[in-house]
Chains A and B, each alone.
Chain A
Amino acid sequence: MDASTFQLTGTKDMQTGEVFFPPRVLSADGALRELEEITLSSEGTLYSYAVVGDKTYGLIDLPEGVRLQTELSSDEPVIGSAYRLVGDESGWSFGRA
């Protein structure tokens, strides 16, 4: 899979609609329903960020209701801006869309 088509995989609870990343095997409510794998949106909104040394970390809100933690590949992060997944299975981050 090349970088342009790489997407993250999460899981979805088909009863509640809840989506998880990293993917969970079983539902969050303790009822032990098996969840289904779904492909996550590659674009989300920056909820917040942190600059630590030469690295920038971000929290990205995806439309599925997932808030994921990631490195940011763009400088000068802007909360509320659109960010897009970049990379492949060996390493990925989010950059300004």
Chain B
Amino acid sequence: MRDVYIAGTGLTPFRKYEEGSGRRLGREAGLAALADAGIDYAAVEAVYGGSAIPESPRAIYLARELGLTGVPVHHVTNASASGLAAMHDAWVAVASGLHDIVLVIGYDAPENSGNAEGAIAAQGFAPPVSLFSMWANRRAQEYGTTERHLALVAAKNWNYAGLNPNALRQPTETVTVEKVLASRMIADPITSMMCTPWGDGAGAAVLMSAEMLERTQGASPFVAKISASVANSEAYEENLILEGAIMGSATITGVSASAALDAAGLGPKDLDVVQVHDAFAIEEIVYSEQIGLSNPGETEELLERGAFGPGSREKFGIAEVSTDGGLIARGHASGGTGLAQVHETLRRFRVHNDEVGLVQLVGVGGVCYTQVLTRIRRK
């Protein structure tokens, strides 16, 4: 396989847009990514679009906004992980030698009434929050996890979002643990401020081979190498939950992250910045451990001491997590989320001096995608 680089990214704000905004959002994210990569759409050899909601437009209609050039346009869908699924397939296309320049657009914005939460709930008999309330209640027994620990995760992510103009949630003052705990109870111990607000939006990325990266000049000297891209689905294990729209087990993330880090020749302590599927605060605690940032049962105490937030790398040797606000506060535009994670990783490479990032998304069913990105300076 050839090396693959992310030469540029673009992102729209995540918001609740009016119905029928998908094509415009895709065009805006695509234009921003192409400008960042320093190319026009005529140079693009293929498009991979990722969206989750059936009511969102198919990828071809977003690609057509940028040009009618006859290139292959693929629509990839895999629930919450659709954006990283499109990134993964685009990575394969460049790594294999089939293409040298590929545009990825991850998005969701329904053409008419429809939303992600409803789409997931329709596949099972319980709302998405119920499974994660079960995770939290079980973990409370095993590790003494309290609602305060969940609130520490949520407050951290809300406060990161306060610095991100693209975030759906825009707190006007510092969000405290007390404020998170005082928000509406959704499914004990999970309050509304510990849950993703969902949302609409689009992100895009331009993937290139080494040869094309050398022949182009982008907006920033810093780009990313995709050091690993791993896709997996649940393997049988005892007590795997099999019915409904659920994650049957958290171990799918551990398998995925471990394979990705191995392929990149890195370990969890090498990571500077990590983005995970924190749709509900308990997920971030569990996935942080699955990725290997902390040992099982130690995460709560680390949260109390301020780990995973600003300065975590310097103080604890542990990556900062959900630095754009995560799904909890940046929002979760379904297919847009994976591209927001990639965009945020590049931003951190450029303005925060981070050098190694990991992005992780799960999708109900269950599927998982993990990419390890490393900072590269253009020659």
Interface, chain A (partner B; CB < 8 A): 18, 20-22, 24, 28-29, 47-52, 55, 57-59, 61, 65-69, 71, 79-80
On whether the beta carbons of B243 and A57 are closer than 8 Å, the reply is: no
On whether the beta carbons of A48 and B137 are closer than 8 Å, the reply is: yes
Residues of B within 8 A of A24 (CB): 242
Binds A, one of B125-133, B207-215, B367-375: B125-133
- Chain A residue at smallest Cβ distance from B236: A28
On whether the beta carbons of A59 and B241 are closer than 8 Å, the reply is: yes
Taking the closest CB of chain A, its distance from the CB of B152, in whole angstroms, is 21
Residues of A within 8 A of B187 (CB): 50-52
Contact indicator per residue, chain B 185-197, by CB within 8 Å of chain A (1) or not (0): 0111000000000
Interface, chain B (partner A; CB < 8 A): 124-127, 129-131, 133-135, 137-138, 141, 186-188, 236, 238-244, 246
Residues of B within 8 A of A47 (CB): 134, 138, 239
User: Shortest 3 CB-CB distances between A and B: which pairs?
Assistant: A50-B133, A48-B138, A28-B236
Taking the closest CB of chain B, its distance from the CB of A21, in whole angstroms, is 7
Complex A-B: 27 CB contacts under 8 Å: A18-B236, A22-B242, A24-B242, A28-B236, A29-B236, A49-B133, A50-B134, A50-B137, A50-B188, A51-B133, A51-B188, A52-B126, A52-B127, A52-B129, A52-B130, A52-B187, A57-B126, A61-B239, A66-B239, A67-B241, A68-B243, A69-B124, A69-B244, A69-B246, A79-B138, A79-B141, A80-B141
Taking the closest CB of chain A, its distance from the CB of B242, in whole angstroms, is 6
12 further interface pairs, Cβ-Cβ under 8 Å (given A48-B138, A52-B127, A59-B138): A20-B242, A21-B242, A29-B236, A49-B137, A50-B131, A50-B187, A50-B188, A67-B239, A67-B241, A69-B241, A79-B138, A79-B141
On whether the beta carbons of B238 and A65 are closer than 8 Å, the reply is: yes
Taking the closest CB of chain A, its distance from the CB of B287, in whole angstroms, is 18
Residue in B125, B133, B242 with the greatest tally of chain A CB atoms within 10 Å: B242
Taking the closest CB of chain B, its distance from the CB of A74, in whole angstroms, is 15
On whether the beta carbons of B243 and A21 are closer than 8 Å, the reply is: yes
On whether the beta carbons of B141 and A69 are closer than 8 Å, the reply is: no
The CA-CA distance from A71 to B125 in the complex, in Å, is 9
Residues of A within 8 A of B241 (CB): 59, 67-69
The CA-CA distance from A18 to B186 in the complex, in Å, is 35
The CA-CA distance from A22 to B242 in the complex, in Å, is 7
On whether the beta carbons of B242 and A57 are closer than 8 Å, the reply is: no
The CA-CA distance from A22 to B141 in the complex, in Å, is 27
The CA-CA distance from A61 to B240 in the complex, in Å, is 10
Taking the closest CB of chain A, its distance from the CB of B185, in whole angstroms, is 9
The CA-CA distance from A30 to B240 in the complex, in Å, is 17
The CA-CA distance from A58 to B27 in the complex, in Å, is 44
The CA-CA distance from A71 to B138 in the complex, in Å, is 17
Taking the closest CB of chain B, its distance from the CB of A89, in whole angstroms, is 16
On whether the beta carbons of A22 and B243 are closer than 8 Å, the reply is: yes
Taking the closest CB of chain A, its distance from the CB of B1, in whole angstroms, is 25
- The one of A20, A48, A61, A68 in contact with B134, judged by C-beta atoms closer than 8 angstroms, is A48
Residues of B within 8 A of A55 (CB): 126
Given A66-B239, A67-B241, A69-B241: A52 and B133 within 8 A (CB)?
A: yes
On whether the beta carbons of B236 and A50 are closer than 8 Å, the reply is: no
- Chain A residue at smallest Cβ distance from B241: A67
Residues of B within 8 A of A58 (CB): 134
On whether the beta carbons of A52 and B134 are closer than 8 Å, the reply is: no
Residues of A within 8 A of B239 (CB): 47, 61, 65-67
- Chain A residue at smallest Cβ distance from B240: A67
Residues of B within 8 A of A21 (CB): 242-243
Residues of A within 8 A of B135 (CB): 48
The CA-CA distance from A79 to B137 in the complex, in Å, is 9
Taking the closest CB of chain B, its distance from the CB of A62, in whole angstroms, is 9
Taking the closest CB of chain B, its distance from the CB of A70, in whole angstroms, is 9
On whether the beta carbons of B188 and A69 are closer than 8 Å, the reply is: no
The CA-CA distance from A47 to B137 in the complex, in Å, is 9
- Chain B residue at smallest Cβ distance from A22: B243
Residues of B within 8 A of A22 (CB): 242-243
The CA-CA distance from A72 to B230 in the complex, in Å, is 38
